[in-house]
Amino acid sequence: MAEADFLGQLQVRTMANLDFPPQYTRAGNTTHNNEVHSIPQDEQFAYGTEMEEKLAPGFRFRAEKLPFIVYRCAYLASLLARHLDAAIGVMITASHNPAQDNGVKLVNFNGDRITRRWEIYADQVINASDADLPKVIRDLEKNFQRSSQSKIASGLIDNAKVVCGIDTRVSGPHLMEAARAGAALFNVKFVDIGVVSTPMLHYIVKSFNEPEFAEATHQGYYQAISDAFRKLYTLTPEPKGSRYQPELIVDCANGVGAPRFRELLELIPKEMLRVEFRNENGELNHGCGADFVKIRQNIPAGFDSEAKEPKCASFDGDADRILYFRAKKGYLYGKAELFDGDRIAVLFAKYLKEQLDIYTASKPRNSLKMGIVQTAYANGSSTRFIREHLKIEPIIAPTGVKRLQRNAAAFDIGVYFETNGHGTIVFSKHFDSVVRRNTDSLPTHLQRLHLFSRVINETVGDAFADLLATEIVLRHFGWSMDDWMQKLYEDTPSISFQASVGDLSIFKTTNAEQTLEEPDGLQKRIDEEVAKYKNARAFARPSGTENIVRVYAEADTLENAHRLGETVTQAVEQADSRHRYLKRFMRFQL
C-alpha cells in the first residue's frame, strides 16, 4: 500500500467517527451473563500509579467491571504491537483472588511488564468517557503514526499481533471476545491461546518475538521445558543412599494448573516423575491454593491432614506461584509445614553454586557471577545460610517481583524469590555466550547449567517450571523432604500482623522497607523492642496492595516473635492515633 493511501486510511479511521461496539462502552458495558453493568464516568481506574509503580500492575476487580476495560486494554496492546511490530500479550486473570473476580494485564514483546509510559497510556484510555475516547485514541496514535506508517509502508507489519490468554474463570471467554474486538479496532492480528497459566502467556509472547527461543504454542512451551527436564534428568544420577522420592501430590487451586500441567507431564515419563492431582474442578482458590496455604499455614482442602502424604505442592489460580508443604506432625487441625519461596531459592542456589564452582575452578578469569535477591520477609535463617554457607551476599529488595527481578538482572545468574513462592532465575547475555552453546560438547557442569536454565521459565515465576526444577535438584542431592528441611537451615520462628491505620502515607520506609524514616521516633521504638530478644528482627511497612501496615517479627521462639510483633503493631497504631490527634488539633488551632 502506498504511504499516502495508508495515511489517508489511518486518518479516516482515527477521526471521531470510530465505531465502538456498544457492549464494550462504559454505558453499555455488558457482562458474561448478558447484563448491562454501566460504569459511571466518575469511576476512575489505575493500571500503575503516576508516582510509584503498583506492586501488581493491571486492573483487577469483580468480573462485571471488566468488559469495557479489557476491550480498551486490547486496543492499547494492538497499538503497542503495531508500534514495535511485535507480538504483545493480554492476560485475563485474577490469580489467587476469588472466582467472581477477574483482571487484565499487558505483557511486553520480551515477556516482561509494559513500560511506565504505557501504563500511563492505559490509565488515559480506560478513564476516558465514551464521548472522549475517539479523541484520546487519536491523540495517542499521533505519537506513533510515523513509526507505524514507515513499518507498514515497508511491508514489515507482519509481526504485529495481540496474543491473549485466559484462566479458568467463567467470565474468561466473554472477556476474550472483548479483547478480540479491541484488537480489531486497529486491524491487528489476534491470537487466542485459550486457557493458559500466566507464565505460559509470557513465555509464548517471547517465543513469537524470538522464534529461536521456542515454538509459540502450548506444545512449544511444554516441549521446550520437558526436553530440558528429561536431558537434565539423564545427567543427574542419584547419589548412593538417595532418599529422593519421584512422586508428589499437587494442589491445583481448582485453577489452570490442573489441565495445563497434566499436558506438560504427558511429555515426562512416569519413572522420572509421578504427580497426583488434587483440587482440579471445584471452586477456584476456595480453601486451597498457594496463597491460602501460605497465609493460613493450613493443609488445603482435599488433602489428608494426618501426615500420610509426604510431599505436596500448591499452585495458585494462575500457576505463577508455588509452595511445597507437608502436614505438620503432631497437629490435629491440619497445620502445614511450609517449604516456601526462600527454601526453594536456597535449594536452587546451592545447586547452581556447586556447578559454578567447578566452572570457576577451571576458568578462574572468566567467572560467572551469581546473585540471590530476597525481600525483607525472607526468613532470617535463609539469609544467614546464603551469606555463611553459599558465601553470597544476598540482596534485599523492596516487595514486588518486578523490583526483585530488576536487581537479579545485574548478575549472570540472578535467583529471585518472594517468600510466598513467586520467583524464578534470570540469565545474562554473558551466561548465554559461555553456557548456552552446543550442549553436547560442553563439560557436564556447564551442560547442567545450560539445561537447568531451560527448565526454568526466565520470563516470570512459573509454578510448573519451578516444580520440575525443584524435583531435579532434590534428586541430584538425593534428598527427601526431611533432608530438604534439615540440611539447609531451620526457620527462625516468625509472625506477621496487620495494623489498621487512618493514613498510610505517614509511614515512610528506607533500606528496602526495613527501616521507618517517618513517623518520627517510631523506628527507635522498634529497635528498642527488637533489642530485648535473641536473634530478633522486626519491621513495619505500608502495604502496596491493601490499606494496612504490615508488621513482621522474628525471634528465637514463636512466643517471643509473637510478643515482639504485638508490641510493634501497638507502636504503629499509637503513632497513627498520635498523628490523627495532632492533625485534628492543628485544624482546631487554625
Ligand X SMILES: CC(=O)N[C@H]1[C@@H](OP(=O)(O)O)O[C@H](CO)[C@@H](O)[C@@H]1O
Residue numbers belonging to the annotated binding site for substrate = 418-420, 541-545, 550
Alpha-carbon gap, residue 83 to 103, rounded angstroms? 24
Smallest Cα–Cα separation from 63: which of 96, 100, 30?
100
264 counts as binding ligand X under rule CB under 6 A:
no
498 counts as binding ligand X under rule CB under 6 A:
no
- Residue with the three cell numbers 455488558: 30
- Residue with the three cell numbers 489498621: 500
55 counts as binding ligand X under rule CB under 6 A:
yes
State the binding partner of 318 from ligand X, Mg ion, none, CB within 5 to 8 A by kind: Mg ion
420 counts as binding ligand X under rule CB under 6 A:
yes
Q: Of the listed pieces 152-160, 274-282, 468-476, 543-551, which binds ligand X according to CB under 6 A? A: 543-551
Of the candidates 334, 380, 400, 565, which one interacts with ligand X according to CB under 6 A?
400
Q: How far is the CB of 318 from Mg ion (least distance, A)?
A: 4
* CB-nearer residue toward ligand X: 214 or 506: 506
180-185: long-range contacts (C-beta < 8 A, 24 or more apart)? Answer: 180/74, 181/21, 181/24, 181/71, 181/74, 182/24, 182/70, 182/71, 182/72, 182/73, 182/74, 182/75, 182/76, 182/77, 182/78, 183/74, 183/75, 183/77, 183/78, 185/18, 185/20, 185/75, 185/78
Summarize the annotated binding site for Mg(2+) as residue ranges: 95, 316, 318, 320
Q: Of the listed pieces 100-108, 122-130, 225-233, 538-546, which binds ligand X according to CB under 6 A? A: 538-546
Query: In sequence order, what are the residues at sequence separation of 6 or more whose Cβ sits closer than 8 angstroms to the Cβ of residue 424?
Result: 416, 417, 456, 457, 458, 459, 460, 461, 462, 465, 466
Return the SS3 of 101.
strand
* CB-nearer residue toward Mg ion: 320 or 529: 320
> Secondary structure of the chain: what % helix, strand, coil (to 5)?
45, 15, 40
Return the SS3 of 326.
strand
Q: How far is the CB of 88 from ligand X (least distance, A)?
A: 22
Query: In sequence order, what are the residues at sequence separation of 6 or more whose Cβ sits closer than 8 angstroms to the Cβ of residue 328?
Result: 307, 335, 336, 337
Alpha-carbon gap, residue 152 to 161, rounded angstroms? 14
CB-nearest residue to Mg ion: 95
State the binding partner of 226 from Mg ion, ligand X, none, CB within 5 to 8 A by kind: none
Distances in Å between the alpha carbon of 140 and those of 46, 66, 73, 510?
Answer: 18, 22, 13, 37
329, amino acid identity: K
CA quadruple 112, 382, 332, 561: dihedral sign: negative
State the binding partner of 316 from Mg ion, ligand X, none, CB within 5 to 8 A by kind: Mg ion
Three-state SS sequence of 404-431: HHHHHCCCCEEEEECCCCCEEEEECHHH
Summarize the annotated binding site as residue ranges: 95, 316, 318, 320, 418-420, 541-545, 550
* CB-nearer residue toward Mg ion: 93 or 567: 93
Q: How far is the CB of 6 from ligand X (least distance, A)?
A: 42
- On the CB side of 573, CA atoms within 13 Å amount to 10
407 counts as binding ligand X under rule CB under 6 A:
no
CB 514 within 8 Å of CB 554: no
416 counts as binding ligand X under rule CB under 6 A:
no
399 counts as binding ligand X under rule CB under 6 A:
yes
* CB-nearer residue toward ligand X: 81 or 401: 401
Of the candidates 401, 526, 538, 572, which one interacts with ligand X according to CB under 6 A?
401
- Interface ranges with Mg ion (CB under 5 A): 95, 316, 318, 320
Q: How far is the CB of 370 from Mg ion (least distance, A)?
A: 26
Of the candidates 278, 550, 563, 579, which one interacts with ligand X according to CB under 6 A?
550
421 counts as binding ligand X under rule CB under 6 A:
no
* CB-nearer residue toward ligand X: 404 or 449: 404
Catalytic residues: 95
Q: How far is the CB of 164 from Mg ion (least distance, A)?
A: 17
Q: Of the listed pieces 181-189, 211-219, 381-389, 542-550, which binds ligand X according to CB under 6 A? A: 542-550
Query: In sequence order, what are the residues at sequence separation of 6 or more whose Cβ sits closer than 8 angstroms to the Cβ of residue 304?
Result: 327
Of the candidates 217, 242, 543, 574, which one interacts with ligand X according to CB under 6 A?
543
Pairing of strands 423-427, 413-417: antiparallel
Smallest Cα–Cα separation from 188: which of 161, 223, 217?
161
Q: How far is the CB of 539 from ligand X (least distance, A)?
A: 11
Encoded one letter per residue, x for contact with ligand X by CB under 6 A and - for no contact, window 363-392 reads --------------x---------------
Q: How far is the CB of 185 from ligand X (least distance, A)?
A: 31
320 counts as binding ligand X under rule CB under 6 A:
no
Q: Which residues bind ligand X (CB under 6 A)?
A: 55-56, 377, 399-401, 418, 420, 543-546, 550
